[in-house]
Structure 1
Amino acid sequence: MIVVGVDGSPSSLQAVRWAAEEAVRHGHPLKLVHVHQTPAGLPGGMLDPAVVGTALRAQGESRLREARETVAEVSADLRPASVLAPAPVVPVLAEESLDASLLVLGSRGLGGFTGLLIGSTAVALAGRVHCPMVVIRGDGPAEGPIVVGVDGLRDAEAAVAFAFEEVSRHHADLVAVHAWTEPVVDTVLLGHSEPLDFAPVQQRAYETLGERLAGWQEKYPDVRVVREVVRDHPSRALLRHAEGARLVVVGTRGRGGFRGLLLGSTGQHLLHHAPCPVAVVRTEPRT
């Protein structure tokens, strides 16, 4: 099942449309989820909480109705389920992700989803969802390749697997990007008069990328893979290759250039500035 967050914003409806198209492509059912909370700081005694709750439920039903109309524009055969919950956003979506194959969200929001991708909330959700999460960015559908960030961890193969499956379904090319940096070496270079030979490090980086892709090209022989090994910061490398892409895929954990990708500035930079949808695939072992 594909789950999509609904809040009535244009970005949310764009996410609904993207999710509906994926549901048709994968042959999966679709679920629309809207949550609402009573705003904090309401003047005591001036507003009846029951009245506020009734108004929020009515607003939620209206937004779900609009989302169903958007789904119908994609496919009249899709009959999405819907959830209307008076609860915090992150716990509800984390719970819904337990039985989902994909969770889809817009990059801007209204109501309960305001600030969803700002600061710690995005990090919390990325670490708690039990399925890949796609954040819809960009102005419209792209027809370019799918880009995946690849590091040296075997646990991170979940992101590679997701990317290969999506590429095969979309009949697109895959760009596998491995970015590496050596902060200690860079510091030494500041006072070093002779250039260092980075060829061995670059060769090891190519070998690492080859190891992470091993077996997947045999499983998906129809997929054309472009390998990119760059000495650069991960966010710059991924953003550069995301130009014209239809999707960029990253894991929640990384090593080397991708350490803490979705726990620090690099991950948030992607979520705020990527020119295309961003897929976050949980790569750490579940506890």
Structure 2
Amino acid sequence: MNKDILHENRVHGNITFPMGVYQVIEDESHTLFDYHWHEETEFLYMQEGTAVFWLGTIKHELQAGDALFIPSGTIHAGFVADLSTPCLVYAIVFDLNLLSGRTYDVIQSKYIDPLLEQTLFLPSLLKPHTFWENSLIAELVSIVEFFEKKPVAYELLIKAKLYNLFAGFIANLQEIPQDQPITTNIYKIERLKKVLQFIDESYPLRIQIKDVASVIAMSEGHFCRFFKAMVRKTPMDYINTVRINQAAKLLSHSDKKVIDIAMEVGFENPSYFIKLFKWHKKCTPSDYRKLEKQKNLPAL
């Protein structure tokens, strides 16, 4: 499977400092992010609210102050759990090679290589119940602050914090209850990846449910139940979400007409596209474009 096709199409940092920190915002359906995966390693820090995150088929419930470790290549999704409280999540995404050294030393062979090769399994969930867990969560908070404020030598400070994080994990492995392996129900996950790949390749085309179901040799009814159970959206809701997000990118980075963008991302009816876009983004495509241009105006 070509993972690049289903990659979230976001460059995290740059080649000299491959990492980024993002504030995750829920969408209109209270989804933080749909199922996806990437080659980078990720930490999530729950600053406010409560949410449910799925790593493969493993469910984790996070409350304010909790954190989650997501290994490279793990398919994952997140959903708001309590709609009555605001939800604020930070994602720290980085290439684990950032921690590799120029020389092959004991740190590389004993710790970094096993992390890269995923032969050293770390637990996913961090809760502020013990001193060492509080210490690791504090490191994550510091990384977010350093990245946002960018003080002098912030790259060095962040890299030091990442080393502290993994050292703290490894030093306390015997005290940590091990998670159920991510590979549980790997067959379901691999089938879902095939479906998501097909959608990412085909969203500009006319897609029928039977076409998607045939990718994994399921009947339409069985497939719809399978997809909704895994993704928490119907297949068509997910396809339209992909289309709307692609349209938003084109509105932000091109001068194409709205009607042309609608057709390009797979909508045959421009009126339906505008209605759905407004439901997803809380504004019309034209207003969205204006807002994005205003964001990019230089400060006076």
| Same fold (TM > 0.5) | no
* TM-score, normalization by structure 2: 0.23
Q: What is the TM-score normalised by the length of structure 1?
A: 0.24
Greater relative contact order, per chain length (Cα 8 Å cut-off, separation 6+): 1
